[in-house]
Structure 1
Amino acid sequence: MTMQSTPETPKGAWKITFLLFLFMLVNFADKIVVGLAGVPIMTEMKLEPEQFGLLGSSFFFLFSIAAIVVGFIVNSVPTRWVLLVLALVWALAQFPMVGSIGFTTLLICRIILGAGEGPAASVAAHAIFKWFPDEKRTLPIAILSQGSAFGVILAVPALNWVIVNYNWHYAFGALGAVGLMWVVAWMILGQEGPLVQTAASAADERRIPYAQLLTSRTFVGCVVATFGAYWALSLGLTWFTPFIVKGLGFSQQQAGFISILPWVFGAVTVILTGWISQLMLARGFTTRGARGVLGAAPLVVGGCILATLPHVAPGGWMIALLVVGSGLCGSIYVVCAPMIGEFTPISQRGAVISIYGALYTLAGVLAPTVMGSVIQRAGDTLAGYMTGFTINAVILVVSGLLGLALLWPNTERVRLTGTTQPVDALKGAVSPT
């Protein structure tokens, strides 16, 4: 039976949203553990800042490649099974660190983990799109994004307690166990969304050349803007806790509490962005304002805030500026996947969203290594951190301004599909199974 142009949200959609929220929670807890245990790892393995920066970047070596490959896979394979395999890879990649290992083993395990986690956000978003019609997607995507923030907020105190009272090796083992728990829960409760293409609608759907999709202003604008935001995020994952300990002189125990502050602020930012965006769309605002401007403008503001870091005294004010400046960047993650989904044919959506994710996460390869090199070459540790954060500020401002310029026209729906309606809001585009 063909659905109407504005389908109702299927039963069970919010249960799946919660499970995928937990999926992203585990995902980001896995990401943060190296940064959280950064000082003990550097001390035990006698690592220089450049080596630790390489360790942070290694997570992203296969991240983008895996995201693209899996993105094409989910065009035809149910996301339920793909998500299950990804989570299983994450869990198994953690257990080698429980024992005594060398730097090379740790590096290889982080590369494998990155390959498993590279497709995660894009595949989860694609799965969400199978449960919510376009005009109702922004809020569930915001909730999905908050899995990252809560993964840090909840995991950091627990993992830091393990690190302080036992050692960093057991923190990795705990994450592996939690990952396996999610796998079991998903096997029991996970389902594929009913808002999928039928064979008839797939045959009728006009495919758009990938070259046109990937060079559209909206796609390029989303990649550019999110690249800057991800630069800030990957610095936070790898270097925030070492900065608190080595740059500002706090203890590892104190740093465990301080390290959750950017994520708390970021969580509020993302939820507010999702709620405001959905409210604006419901009241007739265009996508360019309700998604494009709302997502990209905070990057410029955040960059300007980070630029003031070298001009304040080390301590509380510096932490506050870093928390607010980096926390504002989360707004862009909420809006871009829905914007791209507005004009991308359903049969191509998984691949396009994954390619978007693969491109902006290249910032994760560069940012930790650049920061490590800057710190190692600086005459003073704190001065090195300030230079690294200033570079981040410039990248944020530039990416935010370019994002605003590219996202403002937002003509892709009409140019590529010939209609002002989102692709899967069209009659016959989606059907319950």
Structure 2
Amino acid sequence: MTTQPTPKGSTGTPKGAWQITFLLFLFMVVNFADKIVVGLAGVPIKKDLGLTPEQFGTLGSSFFYLFSISAIVIGFVANRASTRWILLILALIWAVTQFPMVGTVDFTTLVICRIILGAGEGPAAAVAIHAIYKWFPDEKRTLPTAILSQGSAFGVILTMPALGWVINAYSWHLAFGVLGVVSLLWAVAWFALGKEGPLASTSAVVADEQRIPYWRLLTSRTFIGCVAATFGAYWALSLGLTWFTSFIIEGLGYTQKQANFISILPWVFGAVVVILSGWISQLMLARGFTTRGARGVLGSVPLIVGGCILATLPYVPTGWLMPLLVIGSGLCGAIYVVCPAMLGEFTPVSQRGAMIAIYGALYTLSGILAPQVMGNVIQHATTPMAGYMSGFTINAAIMVGSGVLGLLLLWPNTERARLAGTSQPAGAIKGAMSPT
């Protein structure tokens, strides 16, 4: 067995890279705490405002109305502007949009604030990834990307008990205010400690900075595969953010206090999946596997397996629902680790911020659809439980389909050659699943 050579342009990890990684991890913790609060407070919000399942689905979807547009616009800005200042401005927007909910609000005000918050959070993950890639060379990016992705899981794991206590002891209004204060605290820390990475002009696979037309990048099969695969994963995540706590209370009969802790389980399992995926991917690369196997296959197969598990939910005893739902939805996490790294393999650095942002903008469109579809299905079902089961079955089909598309389309190790119009490296396809 021979190993892949160290990519041209590779360099060591600059001093301070892990400090920035930790700060951006906290950034994503706050990001997902903001996302989860509506789902966590779903039952009291529905009661206080008299919302139907369809209206609550609309509320969940509203967060994503400007999410994608904002992600694309700011992604292009990130190609030229300092990510340090972009991230600071985003955090301030998060804070400002939380505080109106501390007082008495109606459904319209709540929706408007969530739309503005979504516009501020749409670019967050892409800009954070673009920022962290300025601190790590290509062959060392998978693990920090996995850590950054864990901000989503820990944003739920750490804040659910805390916000749940605030909701139970005080009100759901105050929970939003707490998140506003936390966003301000992160902004202060980032202003004091945040820096721009020194590897802004370094790319592991692009020896020069020759630009590639965006239409070619956006129609490349690996880009399409990343969007398709992550679309299915984000469908499951969006349901978890909006409907999971309500399902535990309304479908399984638990109290709000019990649901606050049970809701953590999928995120704990998902955190383990993401960290393992990042570690396994990096280990496979070190042992000479191509990125087709170490990233493309590794990210796609768990989606298919997870979807198959979710498809069994309507047919198993009630006692099996929670563990199967936790495992099936948690397996989605692997794709978030590998897709940004795959896009970074063939995208010139000067275009990477926009490409990762467009990728995020497209796959998060499922965030608009998933909560609304679940709300409509529940409202028109014979019982809430039947509606939830139908919604999870739709989720299963989408996950399997997206995983299959990812498995067919994700070939990052040969994408650069295709985009450059040159022939594929000899043995690229043959060696995709085994060390080369």
Q: Give the TM bin, normalised by the shorter chain.
A: over 0.9
Match of 1:341 in 2: 344
Match of 1:285 in 2: 289
1:83 counterpart = 2:90: no
Shift of 1:419: 9.7
Question: Is the CA contact (8 Å cut-off) linking 2:309 and 2:324 kept in structure 1?
Answer: yes
Cα separation, 2, equivalents of 1:84 and 1:409: 32
TM-score by structure 2 length?
0.93
Letter in 1 for 2:271: A
SS at match of 1:342: helix
SS at match of 1:130: coil
Cα separation, 1, equivalents of 2:407 and 2:338: 13
Match of 2:119 in 1: 115
Letter in 1 for 2:353: G
Equivalent of residue 306 in structure 1, options 282, 287, 310: 310
Question: Is the CA contact (8 Å cut-off) linking 1:98 and 1:173 kept in structure 2?
Answer: yes
Cα separation, 2, equivalents of 1:351 and 1:261: 34
Shift of 1:415: 1.7
Equivalent of residue 406 in structure 2, options 359, 380, 403: 403
Letter in 1 for 2:351: Q
Question: Is the CA contact (8 Å cut-off) linking 2:91 and 2:183 kept in structure 1?
Answer: yes
Match of 2:43 in 1: 39
Match of 2:356 in 1: 353
Shift of 1:409: 7.3
1:138 counterpart = 2:149: no
Equivalent of residue 328 in structure 2, options 325, 328, 331: 325
Match of 2:187 in 1: 183
Match of 2:151 in 1: 147
Cα separation, 2, equivalents of 1:4 and 1:386: 51
Match of 1:9 in 2: 13
Q: Flag the 1:39–1:94 CA change in 2: closer, same or farther, 3 A.
A: same
Q: Flag the 1:189–1:420 CA change in 2: closer, same or farther, 3 A.
A: farther
Gaps of 5+ in 1: 422-433
Q: Flag the 1:107–1:395 CA change in 2: closer, same or farther, 3 A.
A: same
1:393 counterpart = 2:393: no
Q: Flag the 1:45–1:12 CA change in 2: closer, same or farther, 3 A.
A: same
Question: Is the CA contact (8 Å cut-off) linking 1:306 and 1:322 kept in structure 2?
Answer: yes
Shift of 1:410: 4.6
Sequence identity (%) = 74
Letter in 1 for 2:77: I
Moved segments of 4+, more than 3 Å: 417-421
Match of 2:269 in 1: 265
SS at match of 1:132: coil
Stretch moving more, 404-413 or 244-253: 404-413
- Any idea what the Cα deviations from partners look like across 1:301-326, whole Å, max 9, x if unmatched? 00000001011222x41011100000
Question: Is the CA contact (8 Å cut-off) linking 1:72 and 1:351 kept in structure 2?
Answer: yes
The count of residues paired between Structure 1 and Structure 2 equals: 415
Question: Is the CA contact (8 Å cut-off) linking 1:218 and 1:410 kept in structure 2?
Answer: no
Question: Is the CA contact (8 Å cut-off) linking 1:293 and 1:408 kept in structure 2?
Answer: no
1:296 counterpart = 2:263: no
Question: Is the CA contact (8 Å cut-off) linking 1:413 and 1:419 kept in structure 2?
Answer: no
Cα separation, 1, equivalents of 2:412 and 2:112: 43
Q: Flag the 1:393–1:4 CA change in 2: closer, same or farther, 3 A.
A: closer
Q: Flag the 1:164–1:68 CA change in 2: closer, same or farther, 3 A.
A: same
RMSD after superposition: 1.6
Cα separation, 1, equivalents of 2:410 and 2:11: 27
1:214-293 correspondence runs (5 A): 214-293=218-297
1:69-108 correspondence runs (5 A): 69-108=73-112
Shift of 1:6: 2.0
Cα separation, 2, equivalents of 1:149 and 1:306: 20
Q: Flag the 1:409–1:103 CA change in 2: closer, same or farther, 3 A.
A: closer
Match of 1:382 in 2: 385
Cα separation, 2, equivalents of 1:223 and 1:409: 14
Cα separation, 1, equivalents of 2:244 and 2:280: 29
Question: Is the CA contact (8 Å cut-off) linking 1:217 and 1:410 kept in structure 2?
Answer: no
Cα separation, 2, equivalents of 1:10 and 1:228: 35
Letter in 1 for 2:231: F
Shift of 1:154: 0.2
Letter in 1 for 2:299: G
Match of 1:195 in 2: 199
Question: Is the CA contact (8 Å cut-off) linking 2:417 and 2:424 kept in structure 1?
Answer: yes
Question: Is the CA contact (8 Å cut-off) linking 1:10 and 1:194 kept in structure 2?
Answer: yes
Q: Flag the 1:291–1:409 CA change in 2: closer, same or farther, 3 A.
A: closer
Q: Flag the 1:194–1:420 CA change in 2: closer, same or farther, 3 A.
A: farther
Cα separation, 1, equivalents of 2:156 and 2:424: 39
SS at match of 1:8: coil
Shift of 1:197: 2.1
Q: Flag the 1:103–1:135 CA change in 2: closer, same or farther, 3 A.
A: same
Cα separation, 1, equivalents of 2:104 and 2:164: 19
Stretch moving more, 304-313 or 58-67: 304-313
Letter in 1 for 2:344: G
Gaps of 5+ in 2: 1-6, 426-436
Question: Is the CA contact (8 Å cut-off) linking 1:310 and 1:386 kept in structure 2?
Answer: yes
